[in-house]
Amino acid sequence: MLKIAPSILAADFLHLKRELDLVNEYADLLHVDVMDGTFVPNISFGFPLVEAMAKVVTVPMDVHLMIVNPDKYVERFARAGASLISFHLEAALQAGKDPSEIIAMIKDCGCKAGLVINPDVPVESLFPYLEEADFFLIMSVFAGFGGQKFIEESLKRISTLRREMESRGIDKDIEVDGGVSAENSRALIDAGATMLVAGSSVFKAENPAEAIAQLRV
Ligand code: DX5
Ligand code: ZN
Cα radius of gyration (the chain) = 16
33 a catalytic residue: yes
Q: Is the CB of 11 under 6 A from ligand 1?
A: no
Percent of the chain beyond pLDDT 90? 100
Exposed, middle or buried by CB within 10 Å (0-12, 13-18, 19+), for 12? exposed
pLDDT tens digits, 140-169: 999 999 999 999 999 999 999 999 999 999
Q: Is the CB of 64 under 6 A from ligand 1?
A: yes
CB 54 within 8 A of CB 80: yes
Cα distance between residue 99 and residue 110, in whole Å: 17
Q: Is the CB of 154 under 6 A from ligand 1?
A: no
| Beta strands per DSSP E along the chain | 3-6, 30-35, 61-66, 82-88, 112-117, 135-139, 173-177, 195-198
pLDDT tens digits, 31-62: 999 999 999 999 999 999 999 999 999 999 99
Per-residue confidence (pLDDT) for residue 216, from 0 to 100: 97
Choosing from 28, 71, 173, 177, which is the catalytic residue? 177
134 a catalytic residue: no
- Separation of 37 CA from ligand 1 center, angstroms? 15
